[in-house]
């Protein structure tokens, strides 16, 4: 039985513990998940201790990281024997493989986020309003600017350094806004057909939403909540307006499946497969929140 460590904030609530059983036949190997929680306000020392422990854990193939991707990279960069080009470019790590040479870190978010966004928002250009500037937002910006040069990317975050780092990763001009939530105006001022994203984590690891209940989404917008579990106020608010404003509303289920697919193939040193996330989704459809 191969063990993959799962680092997050509330790993016990994740459906991965149930999903992994259904995915074993697809992966053609026996695999278990061991969750480790670290709080959002943790000191760097905890990340260093996590990496030290992982390096010594002969029972683990590696680790998948969700919420702590940027913090882990910054705190433990010197502890990696190798980092892939995307990890260095994005300043994040979300998959770690244990090797005889040491820990190797990878950024698979640009791959998984790209696969999902290309399906739900296949426009060649347009405006993106990304609320939050963490690791997933960086990965999204990098993918979009690499594939769609005409995108206008608007990003908001309470931390100036996060917005600046996203712009650096994107490699193109980004309209950055620094300030406290709510960001109703940024959403309401977006043109029709824009992509509106909640990348803050609010509604999952922390309560709340980046916008208020008074916000009106632009007509024909594609609204993407990156989470699939939690209170999901942002998602509920968009769904309430979907019919009147012709919105396309998506939760984070596709990203959950494609994210784990991209990360697991890297951790387990398997061949990459851009359809593996779809197969994961079919195999675990009954687990999807909201499905009877």
pLDDT in tens, 38-93: 998 999 999 999 999 999 999 999 999 988 999 999 999 999 999 999 999 999 99
Q: Do the domains at 2-107+254-287 and 111-251 have one common CATH topology?
A: yes
- Average pLDDT over every residue of 158-185: 94
Domain boundary assignment for the chain: 2-107+254-287, 111-251
Q: Given CATH 3.30.470.20, say whether it is the number of domain 2-107+254-287.
A: no
Q: Which CATH superfamily is domain 111-251 in?
A: NAD(P)-binding Rossmann-like Domain (3.40.50.720)
pLDDT tens, position by position, 190-228: 999 999 999 999 998 789 999 999 999 999 999 999 999
Beta bridge partner(s), residue 225: 198
**Other residues' Cβ atoms within 10 Å of the Cβ of residue 39:** 11
Token pair 């990003």 in the structure block, residue: 155
pTM, whole model, 2 decimals? 0.94
What does the DSSP assignment read for 41-72? T--HHHHHHHHHHHHH-TTEEEEEESTTHHHH
Enter the tokens of residue 145. Answer: 């600017």
Decide if pLDDT at 182 tops 70.
Answer: yes
- Residues whose CB falls within 8 Å of the CB of residue 166, separated by 6 or more in sequence, listed in order: 133, 137, 138, 141, 155, 157, 174, 176
Each residue's pLDDT tens digit, 106-128 = 999 999 999 999 999 998 889 99
């Amino acid at each position: 039985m191969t063990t993959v460590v799962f680092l997050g904030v509330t790993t016990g609530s994740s459906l991965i513990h149930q999903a992994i059983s259904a995915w074993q036949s697809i992966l053609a190997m026996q695999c278990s998940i061991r969750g480790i929680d670290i709080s959002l306000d943790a000191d760097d020392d905890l990340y260093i201790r996590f990496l030290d422990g992982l390096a010594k854990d002969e029972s683990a193939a590696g680790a998948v990281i969700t919420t702590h991707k940027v913090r882990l990279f910054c705190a433990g960069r010197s502890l990696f024997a190798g980092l892939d080009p995307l990890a260095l470019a994005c300043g994040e790590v979300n998959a770690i493989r244990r090797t005889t040479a040491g820990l190797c870190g990878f950024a698979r978010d640009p791959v998984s986020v790209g696969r999902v966004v290309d399906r739900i928002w296949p426009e060649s250009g347009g405006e993106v309003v990304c609320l939050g500037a963490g690791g997933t937002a960086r990965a999204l910006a990098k993918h979009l600017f690499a594939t769609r040069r005409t995108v206008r990317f608007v990003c908001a975050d309470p931390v100036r350094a996060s917005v600046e780092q996203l712009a650096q990763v994107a490699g193109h001009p980004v309209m950055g806004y620094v300030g406290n939530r709510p960001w109703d105006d940024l959403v309401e001022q977006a043109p029709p057909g824009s992509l509106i994203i909640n990348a803050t984590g609010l509604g999952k690891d922390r309560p709340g939403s980046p916008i208020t209940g008074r916000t009106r989404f632009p007509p024909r917008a594609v609204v993407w909540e990156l989470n699939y579990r939690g209170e999901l106020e942002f998602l509920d608010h968009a769904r309430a307006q979907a019919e009147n404003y012709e919105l396309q509303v998506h939760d984070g289920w596709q990203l959950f499946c494609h994210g784990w697919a991209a990360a697991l193939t890297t951790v387990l040193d398997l061949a990459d497969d851009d359809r593996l996330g779809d197969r994961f989704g079919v195999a675990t459809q009954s687990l999807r929140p909201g499905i009877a």
